[in-house]
Amino acid sequence: MKRDTVHEEGAKLDFSRDMSYGDYLHLDRVLDAQHPLSADRNEMLFIVQHQVSELWMKLMLHELRGAVDCLAGDQCAPALKMLSRVSHIMAQMVQAWDVLSTMTPPEYAAVRPYLSNSSGFQSWQYRALEFLMGNKNAAMLTPHQHHPARLQQVRSAYDQPSLYDQALRLLARRGLPVPETHIRRDWCAPYQPSPEVEAAWRAVYAAPHQYWDLYQLAEKLTDIEQALRLWRFRHVSTVERVIGFKRGTGGTSGVDYLRRVLDQVMFPELWSLRTTL
């Protein structure tokens, strides 16, 4: 009876006037955005996988920008919620590699000629995410120069203090001994680890009840980097499984390039201090 009642209530709605589910989500546009170029049915998997990843990255950018603003405004608690959500999004993206891994080398080979030079290496959202988290590299602006609007988005993340920069500035405002070199610096320059910064974080870990929100912040940042490491590892593993050691469509060395990326560290002192705790 309850199910019938729900159906009856739904039948009373007039969708010529009322907004429907599809209207709210603009599903006509979203579901019409897959346009395979090859005759191979597996190309649909390749397209949907990457489009879904870009949607998750859009949400990650939304949350990370909010967290950066909150930390800059001494609002640690809401930033923690946003960073927690980012970690959960990353977990979804890690699991998504399981689906792409069902594409075999011959299936991808049938699709690859139609990709031309397009590559995930050119994802402006991913690059903005890396810049927001502190992995600054001017050379990574180049792939976006042909599209001024996208370049502006990436450069905005490149020019501003990163999530980690704002975390360190918050520590300094709380009286922890973060050196001036790390709270007033060229935000476009690659981050350089500091023994003094490690000592500041160690002070937080030594007195968690005194610095509870900063202690939680440190762990949320560590969660995000660990999730990012897992994502990168699954990325390189999937690429090697599907194409071996062929060069990437975007001109990179493929697996070799992705393996080098595995060694990048976003929040170095949060990892190095663990040896001495």
Q: How far is CA 179 from CA 81, 123, 184, 194, in A?
A: 28, 34, 9, 9
In this predicted structure, what is the pLDDT of residue 1? Answer: 47
Task: Report pLDDT for 110.
Answer: 94
Condensed to tens digits (0 to 9), the pLDDT of residues 143-199 reads 888 889 899 999 999 999 999 999 999 999 999 999 999 999 999 999 999 999 999
The structure tokens 């809401």 sit at 78
Tokens of 24: 């709210």
Q: What is the pLDDT of residue 119?
A: 79
Q: So what's the pLDDT on residue 242?
A: 87
d(CA 157, CA 180): 22
Question: Of 245, 225, 270, 194, nearest to 64 (Cα)?
Answer: 225
Interatomic CA distance for residues 59 and 47, integer angstroms: 19
* Nearest of 172, 150, 165 to residue 58 by alpha carbon: 150
Q: Is 25 exposed, middle or buried (0-12, 13-18, 19+ CB in 10 A)?
A: exposed
Domain boundaries, the chain: 46-275
234 contacts 94 by C-beta, under 8 angstroms: yes
Residues in the chain: 277
Q: What local confidence, expressed as pLDDT, does residue 245 receive?
A: 74
pLDDT tens digit sequence for 64-79: 999 999 999 999 999 9
| Residue segments in the chain with a per-residue pLDDT below the cut of 50 | 1
* Helix/strand/coil (H/E/C) assignment for every residue in 60-90: HHHHHHHHHHHHHCCCHHHHHHHHHHHHHHH
For the entire predicted model, the pTM comes to 0.90
User: Distance between CA atoms of 126 and 100, rounded to whole angstroms?
Assistant: 18
Report whether CATH 1.20.58.480 matches the domain 46-275.
yes
CA gap 195, 188 in Å, rounded: 21
Q: Residue 90: which residues within 8 A CB-CB, separation 6 or more?
A: 60, 224, 227, 228, 230, 231
